[in-house]
Chains A and B, each alone.
Chain A
Amino acid sequence: MSKLNEESWLYTISSKKKLIDFNFKEIWHYRDLLVLFVKRDVVTLYKQTILGPLWYLIQPLFTALTFTLIFNKVANIETGTVPPFLFNLAGISIWNYFSTCLTTTSDTFKSNEAIFGKVYFPRIIVPLSIIISNLLKFGIQLLIFIAFYIYYYTNGAAIAVESSLVFFPFIVLLMGFLGLGIGMIISSLVTKYRDLKFLVSFGVQLLMYVSAVMYPLALMRDKLPNIAWVVEYNPLAYIIETARFMLLGTGTINGFGIAYTVIITFLILFFGIIIFNRTEKTFIDTV
């Protein structure tokens, strides 16, 4: 066959795996599927519930309330001039976005086995749809945060919006990418080694405690200087601290920390995409 003819194949299903095999054109072709998956996730989650989307609000509100009672009133964690409830609400909203992204993405292959086993479409559509639909939930939770923010502000609380707030979407995106990256890595490994499934649910819980969700980063340095590095090198802690700085003007951030976080996030995301890409081709044989 002539050279020209060889090149005219649309695509090849081959045993050879390239390191990065990413067909953006194909993903673009399936953009409607992405939209429909997002719509499905949002619409169906609270079907046949009485409170419906209100559950989006109830979860963070009550968690923040509990945290305030336990960590601030009982354990006396200082949140500076910021009202503890608002401090917790900010942390929890951001954290929830990460943890739902992570846990749902990490289940991608297992929970979509039936579809993946029969039809082909770029598998990455599924985790992408997860971070987008969770972004919408996060948006709703942000609204309730803003409502409380205005309430505390008019009551004279010492909170200030930083000019860096314009970068807030970037921080949220970073959080989403981190959840997506780690989730994709786990989802790829879990197809063969189910052990990870148990690790995820309890690992995420533990992770929250070293991610500065219910305490400021400075407090850790102050109280436990020996192991504070665990929190300091945790990109999650940095993202949450930065988000709080933008929203409430509390906390300490620096350029090095942000650069470190961005680099780590993109490394994880990149690694996640590679390993996900490798797994999607044969996972159905091992799942």
Chain B
Amino acid sequence: MSVILKAENISKQYRLGLVGTGTISHDLNRWWARIRGKEDPYLKVGAVNDRSTKADSAYVWALRDINFEVKKGEVLGIIGKNGAGKSTLLKLLSRVTIPTTGEIKTRGRIASLLEVGTGFHPELTGRENMYLNGAILGMTKAEIKAKETEIIEFSGCQRYVDTPVKRYSSGMRVRLAFAVAAFLEPDILVIDEVLAVGDAEFQKKAIGKMQDISKGEGRTVLFVSHNMAAVKNLCTRAIVLENGTSVFEGATDEAVDFYLSQNKIQESIPLTERKDRSGNGDFLFKDISIVNEKNENQLNLLSGESYKIQICSETRVKQANLKVRVQFIDNKGSIRFLCNNYFVDATAFNLEATKNNVIEYFIPKFPLPKGNYTIQLSCFSSDGLQDDIENALSFNVVGGDFFKSGKEQISKEGVLVDYTFKRIN
């Protein structure tokens, strides 16, 4: 198979902080260096892109020396944590901006499914927007016309197609936008986690369509996602990015394992010292533990038993309407279930500034089947995201007798729920 896309030593440098008065002097310095035929003086500086450490340079490398090749018909996954450089890479690939050094060569047209609905005009009808959006994405009028009925049908907005888009519900807008993008036929398609659009029915349709695109139609696809299950399902090869550099390249399964094992290393560090967190920093998680009825710490759990999730935190300022979310994630990256005080407790959770606050979730019948799981801890307040840690804790479920029947129900997806069986006659 021939190489359709090739990235050679691409790097992207960004300037930190505000574009202010310093900009002109830097611009002049650059210009002066160029006139004398010297190298850009600011290319030598720049720190590794580690979001959580304090910057000592005004410049940062969002991507550094990335090399890869994509063969025709290949589905390449790009995985990495938040801020690893995935979006920057996509921006470069979709030609929104150019790399600071290096080059990307391609033999086919690239189109991206980054964020759907770009360029919708509220006053135009669905049909008019369909044409406009298609043209923005690089289709000609004739191409769109040829697929008009298919697109409208796929979107499921037949009735509203001649109504201005401003009257659409947000879901309908997304459906229409996705439909247009899905019928694009570029040589290389770049997809960035658009899976989370629309209602369940449409999501299923969207994922199905993406599978068709990547598998059935033999198109070259670059797929960026956090969803390890989707990556495993769709991709033939994957790249793992970390802090702007490519740390692994190879078969999908190995890449996913590598990515997950990297996260494992993080777990051995206590929560208070973890740097890989996002949020505004006023509220910090300090510790999380799972305890059984006898208040003993547990990491090997049994399905059907009762457990308490105890979370210790501190807050520097007074907080109102806190939502503490505990997500239980399996080794494919899917969220199996979550706990959130907002849903179970009618009263608002407010906190005064405190060094030590402990909360507890009680799960009377632990619903996860056998497997390895991790917990993602997030806290939101009225001001937005306060703190968020992926892989705050990992634990195993080693078995268990959920139904008290002496048998164990094994399931790769979902959770165990109570149900009964009865013969009527």
Contacts and interface: CB of A to CB of B under 8 A. Distances in A.
A29 B140 CA distance: 8
Contacts of A16: 103
Nearest to B119: A115
B105 interface: yes
Contacts of A14: 98-99, 102-104
Interface string B106-150: 111101101100110101100010011001111011000000000
A40 B136 CA distance: 13
Contact of A119 (B23, B97, B107, B118): B118
Interface stretch (A91-99, A253-261, A278-286): A278-286
**Chain A interface residue bracket vs B:** 35 or more
Contacts of B109: 10
Contact of A286 (B19, B107, B121, B124): B19
Interface in A1-36: 8-17, 29-30, 32-33, 35-36
**Chain B interface residue bracket vs A:** 35 or more
A221 interface: no
B200 interface: no
Given A36-B131, A36-B135, A43 B124 contact: yes
Given A15-B98, A15-B100, A40-B121, A32 B141 contact: yes
Contacts of A56: none
A15 B112 CA distance: 20
A202 B173 CA distance: 39
Contacts of B115: 118
Interface string A111-138: 0001111111100000000000000000
A44 B124 CA distance: 7
A192 interface: yes
Interface stretch (B50-58, B87-95, B212-220, B338-346): B87-95
Contacts of B354: none
Interface in B4-31: 14-15, 19, 23-24
Given A10-B108, A44-B123, A121-B138, 5 more contacts: A13-B99, A40-B124, A43-B124, A115-B118, A118-B94
Interface of B: 14-15, 19, 23-24, 91-109, 111-112, 114-115, 118-119, 121, 123-124, 128, 131-132, 135-138, 140-141
Interface of A: 8-17, 29-30, 32-33, 35-37, 39-40, 43-44, 47-48, 114-121, 192-193, 281-282, 284-286
